[in-house]
Structure 1
Amino acid sequence: MTNFNEYSDLLGMVFLMKERIDPNLLAICFWLVWNKRNSDRLGESSVALGRIRAKAATLLHDFRTAQLSQPLVSTIVARAARWTPPLSPHLKINFGGATFKDLGCAGVGVVVRNSTGAVIGAFSQRIMMPSSAAIVELLACRKALVFAKDLGVVQCIVEGDAKVIIKALRQRDSSHPQYGHVIQDVLFLASDFQSCCFSHVKRLGNLVAHCLARSSKSGTELQVWYNSTQGYYSPCHS
């Protein structure tokens, strides 16, 4: 058995023999030995010396398995949060709302894009403050459908980040006492398209519409862009 005067000497040997010794496994073994010593001193239960290596191997396996699964979860989340183009010939209509309590008003923003991500049209408008943020989102959705109809859109996906609103629209649920009537208006407008469905996306995937909505704070007039708004919303591109 080799004796080591310094811990650094032991560590150096471990790394020199890393092809034969797993430093991660050894580190967990050291921790379990240290933990056992403290547990024994306090009269607490601990892993038996003969089972320390097996326990360390189990802990290391669990850790490595968790690390392997983490990138997959992160990728799925990132994809869910990112704006994705629709399949041709559908157009995607993103809408968003913002409230400005200091001004006592709200703003709506809409952007229409095709399967290549090119902007067909967009607009930003300040409106009177409704009774709730949910109604702001619904009014933005309704204005988005009217705008799409004016653009001659036939098949579309209407997308927003207000999960409760999108859920109500997808379930055709107009029973809410506060905004059920607006749900009915939106569904009526949607029925006039050859194809129209509603989709939820996280805020990161709806940044363009959200930034357009917030930009309405600086002006009272309706602002409309056709074919391209790239120069306008590039800092908020999603």
Structure 2
Amino acid sequence: MVLLVSYWAIWYTRNRVGIVAFVPKTFTFVEAFLKEWDSVCLVSCPATPSELVYWQAPTGSVVKFNFDSAFSSHIRTATLGVVGRNSSGLIMAACSDSYSHVVDACIAEALACKQAVLFARDLAFSSVIIEGDSLTIIKKLNASSFDRSIISPIVYDIKDVARCFDSISFRFVRRDANNVAHVLAHECQSQQGPLY
């Protein structure tokens, strides 16, 4: 796998820039790509019935916003779903929307997370948990270092909006505990325009 990703990185750089990148820079990229790939593979393994996890309600006055996206590579569109629920599990708000000209699934997940944060802010909730099944996005939002990936502008925007809250946390959850947002994102594929 390392050799395959290395060849791909060299080929991509040569086609994009016209020269082969400096070897340590390419090695660093390959190393980071493989770590991210391992984390994605670890999360996407199907769970057995005994390993299923369920959505957990927040405590007190905190509202939990779950987000997810559905990405269509052949038409470069992403649809997203966001649902906010209180400590009793009651739905406080939900929305779905679509974006065109989306490059990949990672960007789609980042846009869904950004929508969740903006939605929570616009509804004037002060203490929120933002929860999604994209480990990559959650790790980037919880990292203190500057993100240098393709989604860095979206990560920056999310962190900027996050300053508006009295309390906010970003949490990873497996797909089976994020099912409502997942269904909303897929249902939006047959709709036109945003739904609230």
| Same fold by TM-score greater than 0.5 | yes
Identity of aligned residues (%): 33
Query: Partners of 1:213 and 1:129 in 2: how far apart?
Result: 17
Contact 1:173 1:180 survives alignment (8 Å)? no
Alignment of 1:76-155 (within 5 A): 77-78=51-52, 81-155=53-127
CA distances 1:149-205 after superposition (whole Å, capped 9, x unpaired): 121110000000001110111114442331111111101111110000001000000
| Structure 2: gaps spanning 5 or more residues | 1-48
Q: 1:220 to 1:103 in 2, by over 3 A?
A: farther
Displacement of 1:88 in angstroms is 1.0
Name the larger-Rg structure. 1
User: Secondary structure of the equivalent of 1:223?
Assistant: coil
Higher RCO (Cα < 8 Å, 6 or more apart): 2
Detail structure 1 runs of 4+ shifted over 6 Å in the superposition.
none
Q: TM-score, normalised by structure 2?
A: 0.71
Higher helix proportion (structure 1 or 2): 1
Displacement of 1:82 in angstroms is 1.2
User: Secondary structure of the equivalent of 1:82?
Assistant: coil
Query: Partners of 2:178 and 2:83 in 1: how far apart?
Result: 10
User: Secondary structure of the equivalent of 1:214?
Assistant: helix
Letter of the 1:136 counterpart: A
Q: Which residue of 1 aligns with 2:133?
A: 161
Q: RMSD of the alignment, in Å?
A: 1.7
Query: Partners of 1:172 and 1:222 in 2: how far apart?
Result: 33
Query: Partners of 2:149 and 2:134 in 1: how far apart?
Result: 18
Letter of the 2:96 counterpart: S
Displacement of 1:102 in angstroms is 4.4
Contact 1:190 1:196 survives alignment (8 Å)? yes
Query: Partners of 1:206 and 1:146 in 2: how far apart?
Result: 19
Q: TM-score, normalised by structure 1?
A: 0.59
Q: 1:216 to 1:129 in 2, by over 3 A?
A: farther
